[in-house]
Structure 1
Amino acid sequence: MDVGEPIWQELDGPRDLTKDERRLLERMVGVVGEPALQRQLDVAVVTARCCCGCSSVRLHSTEPPVAEGRVRQLSRLDRSDHFSVDARSRAPGLTDVHVVLHVVQGRVEELELFAGEGIAVPLADLADPTDVTVA
Structure 2
Amino acid sequence: MLIQVKCSCGERQCPEWAIVELQGSVEAQPSFQHRIQNLQIGLLCRPSSEESYTLVVGYHELTGSKQSLKKPILVLKKIEVGDDSDPDPDPDSDSKRVELDVIGIIRHKILFKTRPKALISSRPQPAAKGKTSAPASSVLN
Common fold by TM > 0.5: no
Greater helix fraction, Structure 1 or Structure 2: 1
TM-score, normalised by the number of residues in structure 2: 0.20
Greater strand fraction, Structure 1 or Structure 2: 2
* Pair member with larger Rg: 2
